[in-house]
Chain A
């Protein structure tokens, strides 16, 4: 095979490695086709089930990939002429993205229909968007990375405006589109400058070039770093590129917000790790301070702006910015531990954030116009189970022990300490304390706001909004998020091991 590669015009494709991407795109096309050909609406929940099945297939594919690449005889490799890297990192992020997609789809099934959004379109777009995310996480070439980003983003622009009857949703889509296009331009320009400085867009080639000799146009390269960072920083909503986040998160339908906060962020962090930590590893001294500054700013913005919000969805938007700050700390370290901690944080955060938005979707009810904190007053007596679940998810986000959220913070702090950046660890923890105030505000509203409500028997409790039965999809999604948070929080050994082994590699050594 090595010998004949030169003579074949089309590159060989290791289809087995592409199972996750094919599952997502295939399921998307299938949904489109079937719903176009069948005259009547499909039974309720079909779309979500198909999406969940596609996620399961993708996870299966990721497991296959994992077994393959962790086998010492085989190891990581690239496919499609070095366009995509297949390594443990890919497999791990595939699981994260598939989990985020499946949970978001389950939420969407429970909430979107009630808001009058029927049809397969949300699920098709979610699947396509997630496939773009996969490409981003796997990309071994800056152009492929850009393609993945665009597939991810363009689907998301439409998804944000899915509920077109609501002006907030339309506004959210418009804002996201304009700013997203802007950031794409930055990223593209960054790719161009990097290409100009190194002569390639392939990450392996770039790395080899930078390792071999000093580029003559170093200014060009550094400008390329900065612009790439702006482009990816926008996607992970790192301050100061975060300003779109609260508005878009608030305006978009809640399941879509959950998807944005989980999948889109995971994909962008995957790209950030692969491009900066792996490819530009020789230039750590140049980009580390930049990301450190971003991390500190992001942590502080996420914590300080969150506590002055009165809308729960906006609070969660800022809290997701704070989480991005934590993950950036892991990225900034440019070490194996840093990367593993960022990965662990991502998987823990994905479940936390989707679970939290699931609760918000339930409490928000049908109109979803706004989510004032006062809606949560007395939730503990109206829906004790839901209030307790939300409390666990919020405390996990605050970093209370025996939850996955605490361990995620613990690993990031551990990695920072191992790298000797104590100050960053302290700043991160202090910002977590500030952010804890935000989560406590919501808990206070649920449990301590109305003492007269709290004394009422739950059965006879006054309901401010009609407490409809929870859709099964929402139940499953929130339940899974809660279970993951607690199980991994108490017995994390396995997941930690995966995150440890899932470091990204450049397949400079061909097997």
Chain B
């Protein structure tokens, strides 16, 4: 564990808050200054996260950059932050997507409040990913609702108020169970261990002192909250509304960052906190994940609204991540974590592109678009790369993640994997079909005059496209940072349950499980 003198992770949360306050001080008549402050602040956070990435010790699976400050001492609540390989890239993703969303999309009115809310949202998302205290995690998990609620409700489209309210209430419904679960976890841990009450994640997870049956109930209470956030199949209905009605930046952040709060929660507060209960619940979650994969794909295929189509594709993609997570193998989990990043990059980029099309044509209806390739070849090209990454074409990032997930889950969940693999084909069906209808063919009059990407938009998209290709071709730098933590987590699960990871299906040299999955990843890229 490195002990940096500079409170890096804390500053990742605090800097956006300070930025939001600065934005709030800007007079309403100078929106361009507010925007500048917003972009600059989020760029600072982005730079900090890149610096953190270079300082991260890739051989260490434990939490790094940890810091702990007293907060509510009477209840054993502290500001405890730290990251490991699982959260590292989610933090970087958050830090990179926010400046892109802020700089890439201009709001139509009230720039000042819009920018301030986005910065508050960034602080909240960061907080979720770095929190190592149950209470702190809950606070951050819950606080992100407020800025997102205002962003959807204030700057969204048509049914925005309905969508925002639905989003808020759905998530709060799940959180209601989690709050009870968190309090019960801390209390039962105190009773079992006899020490003072604490909400510290690491302490509680390492001691594993809660009785098995109680742990199952607690896991369920957490799982409900995360299943809403992911969203898993029967609880997903808020997602299409929220994503479709949100302003473009909101959709980018929703899909890119906020959906990961659920899957990340499953890893950190499901598997790590309640390993035995997670093994017990895995069949149900894997089944729901597979239902989500096929259901999301089928429903996406029949959408007439391009943005809604992308939204439903998220249901399918997040299903893959949950499948990989609860496959409980090194490869599955590594693939799941990588796929969180991939989905954030690809779907974030897709929503940006859909937003750009909407700005030009003022419609998202697939039937009203057509032949856009002719007037906007660059946009079409960018869209194609992103779409192919989303489908999972080799040499692009989506393939590495999905391949690892399927490889990992095949060892433990063979038939589920078979169904999920069919979902990959369905993804190709709906995305290729959508691409064909939107970009191919003869453009009508309105479509023919659509301008292509300008320089600014190109610059905004460039980092995302670069990430898509880089991870697709050479995933090793990413995977080798994720793996130590994933192996540690799986070992933690094995230590505290009767579950044993099956021997990796591929012939690998003995005593080198770590290198085996990175080898797989590389194999996927080549």
Contacts and interface: CB of A to CB of B under 8 A. Distances in A.
Asked if A and B bind, the verdict is yes
Nearest to B109: A455
A418 B187 contact: yes
Given A410-B179, A437-B165, A401 B74 contact: no
A432 interface: yes
Interface string B59-73: 000000000000111
A485 to B, nearest CB: 14
B183 to A, nearest CB: 5
Given A402-B139, A454-B109, A410 B183 contact: yes
B343 interface: no
B160 interface: yes
Contact of A448 (B29, B161, B173): B161
Interface string B295-307: 0000000000000
Contact of B183 (A413, A444, A455, A492): A413
B453 interface: no
A7 B180 CA distance: 57
A106 to B, nearest CB: 26
Interface stretch (B36-44, B141-149, B372-380): B141-149
Given A413-B183, A437-B165, A455-B110, A496 B172 contact: no
B159 to A, nearest CB: 12
A493 B74 contact: yes
B153 interface: yes
Contact of A429 (B29, B109, B161, B180): B180
A374 to B, nearest CB: 15
A448 B180 contact: no
B154 interface: yes
A496 B72 contact: yes
B138 interface: yes
Nearest to A434: B169
A447 B150 contact: yes
B202 interface: no
Interface in A432-480: 432-433, 436-437, 440, 444, 447-448, 454-455, 457-458
A496 B165 contact: no
- Interface size class for chain A? 20 to 34
A222 interface: no
Interface residues of B, number: 35
Which among A429, A437, A458 has the greatest number of chain B C-beta atoms within 10 A? Answer: A429
A409 B180 CA distance: 10
A5 interface: no
Given A402-B143, A432-B176, A458-B28, A417 B183 contact: yes
Contact of B176 (A395, A402, A429, A458): A429
B493 to A, nearest CB: 26
A290 to B, nearest CB: 23
A400 B141 CA distance: 10
Given A395-B146, A418-B187, A496 B176 contact: no
Contacts of A444: 153, 161, 164-165
B462 interface: no
Interface string A387-430: 00000000100101110001001100110011000100110011
B184 interface: yes
Contact of B169 (A413, A426, A433): A433
B168 to A, nearest CB: 6
B160 A425 contact: no
B22 interface: no
B142 A401 contact: yes
Contacts of B172: 398, 432-433, 436
B146 A417 contact: no
A497 interface: yes
B183 A426 contact: no
A311 interface: no
A409 B139 CA distance: 13
B16 to A, nearest CB: 15
A457 B138 contact: no
A375 interface: no
B470 interface: no
Nearest to A497: B74
Contacts of B180: 413, 417, 422, 425-426, 429
A419 to B, nearest CB: 10
A447 B114 CA distance: 12
Contact of A414 (B28, B73, B187): B187
Interface string A483-503: 000000000110011001000
A492 B135 CA distance: 13
A422 B29 CA distance: 51
B30 to A, nearest CB: 13
B419 interface: no
A398 B168 CA distance: 11
B358 interface: no
A430 B176 contact: yes
B75 interface: yes
Given A400-B143, A414-B187, A447-B153, A430 B73 contact: no
A422 B168 CA distance: 24
Interface in B9-39: 28-29
Contacts of A436: 168-169, 172
Nearest to B170: A433
B184 to A, nearest CB: 5
A376 to B, nearest CB: 14
Contacts of B28: 457-458
B115 to A, nearest CB: 15
Interface string B103-142: 0000001100000000000000000000000000011101
17 contacts: A401-B140, A402-B139, A402-B143, A417-B183, A425-B183, A429-B179, A429-B180, A433-B169, A436-B169, A444-B153, A444-B161, A447-B153, A448-B153, A454-B110, A455-B110, A457-B28, A493-B72
List 8 tightest A-B contacts by C-beta distance, closest first. A429-B176, A401-B139, A448-B153, A417-B183, A455-B109, A425-B180, A414-B183, A417-B184
Given A429-B180, A454-B110, 17 more contacts: A400-B145, A402-B139, A413-B180, A414-B75, A417-B183, A417-B184, A417-B187, A425-B183, A430-B176, A436-B172, A437-B169, A440-B165, A444-B161, A447-B153, A448-B161, A448-B164, A455-B110
